[in-house]
Amino acid sequence: MAHSTQDHQTGSTIALGYSSLDQEVVLDRLPVSGNIPSWLQGSLLRNGPGKFEAGQQSYRHWFDGFSMLHRFTFQQGQVAYANRFLHSDAYEQSMREQRIIGSAFATDPCKAVFKKTQSALIINANVSVDQMVNDFVAMTEAPVPVRFDPHTLDTLGVVEYDERLTGHHGCAHPHHDSSGEIVSFMTEFGPQSEFKVFAIGNVEPPQRRLIGSYRVATPSYIHSFSISEHYIIIAEYPYQVHPLDLMSAGKPFIENFKWFPEHGTRFVVMDKQDGHVVRTFQSEAFFCFHHINAFERDGDIFVDLAAHPDPTIVRGLYLDQLRGDLQNVEIPAPSEFRRYHLPLGSSATSASYERITEVSIELPTINYRRYNAREYGVAYGVCTDRQNPEVVSDQLVRVDVRNKSALIWSEENCYPGEPVFVEAPAAKHEDDGVVLSVVLNGQRGNSFLLVLDAHTFQEIGRAEVPHHIPFGFHGLFFPGVK
């Protein structure tokens, strides 16, 4: 997902996606070309970094920018747009004092993660959005979501949980289980670190219930996980940290983690009901940000994910590299769409994998509401043209998982973000609907919302935004937000 600086024209185009957007706007109607389906009613809410500076100080890594929320609202074939910074105490104080305040992934020394209570002061929730009970929340890897109003994008403060369950590093990708609960995890660092899986029930005020936990000597950096019908699946990559280093080394959070390929990757299978660890499986070393899906078949578990050979991708996402300010940048290898087989029905202890497609995939999504934790047939994501490896994702991909084939959308000098599937009314098939993606148009210097037919992967329409939208991370479509 990083680029080299061999093509300076391309590099300058890409740099726009990593530059700040200072203005907050409300636009009642965007110019639309093509056809936006009239059945598409609701809002796409997205999250990601919107500003990378405070006074003379700058963030070093893409993952650190101040959170900005974006809302695209669809009604009768028209599209409205609004954006607003997440006005956390961290953002407000940083702007007031003109210096960076609060915790960060790869910029400041790792101190805030060990505060006894994590407040809005230190939470820059810039990764994802979700709905928890009656709250719309912005999330990052701090285990405390930040509430916001989906209609105005106003920041409403952190979610107040029962503090009996503690942890330092969490998950920005919780799962909505078929039971109606939300399942997530967090790691508590210490002399005896502990990995905890918990559930949030559909009650007010929100409460976290511990499902299960286990101790880890050297915790792995874990961004996401999978669930299947009966199990929770955690992949522990050999990108690990000695907890004492987090407290004493004086380095930014992620720079304390080291790669130990000789350890391999361990899959931990936890029972959803009582939280006991059912089995563990060992595989070759790899690194991953995003799981795609998991399901059970004939007593075994299959886990699909976007696998990287090592964590070079983390180093490749520093802003000076992404903006083309450095020469001779190491380009990470493309991620692979892998399906890991965990042979739960046998005594085997190794996990093997097959590659679903030769096309790379990142920021993967599926028809989540109907097919998460179930056997499925279609996945969507971003990928990179093999002939143009020096750029960030410049293509969208639709993968037919069963046929192991792929369809590609691309347009010259255009750089798409995460594809979000929206199901059509009375859908009969898994991919009856549309895919939405925010695309940077490097030729015109602005962004547009792209609408693709989810089956053919052909463009249906687009809505033009008058300015660029910095490359973001994750979003969801909410039919009830109009």
**Residues 6 or more apart in contact with residue 70 via CB below 8 angstroms:** 44, 45, 46, 47, 48, 81, 82, 83, 438, 469, 472, 475
Check the annotation: does 3 bind a ligand: no
19: left (phi over 0), alpha (psi -120 to 50) or beta: beta
What is the C-alpha to C-alpha distance for residues 83 and 22, in angstroms, rounded to an integer?
10
What is the C-alpha to C-alpha distance for residues 157 and 169, in angstroms, rounded to an integer?
19
What is the C-alpha to C-alpha distance for residues 159 and 125, in angstroms, rounded to an integer?
12
C-alpha distances (whole Å) from 116 to each of 122, 337, 452 are: 12, 39, 46
What is the C-alpha to C-alpha distance for residues 395 and 8, in angstroms, rounded to an integer?
20
What is the C-alpha to C-alpha distance for residues 378 and 393, in angstroms, rounded to an integer?
20
Residues 256 and 246: beta-carbon distance below 8 Å: yes
Check the annotation: does 263 bind a ligand: no
Sign of CA dihedral 444, 445, 446, 452: positive
Check the annotation: does 169 bind a ligand: no
A 10 A CB-CB count for 82 gives 18
Residues 410, 413, 418, 423, Cα dihedral to 10°:
-40
What is the C-alpha to C-alpha distance for residues 130 and 173, in angstroms, rounded to an integer?
9
Check the annotation: does 474 bind a ligand: yes
Binding-site members are 173, 223, 290, 474
- The binding site for Fe cation consists of 173, 223, 290, 474
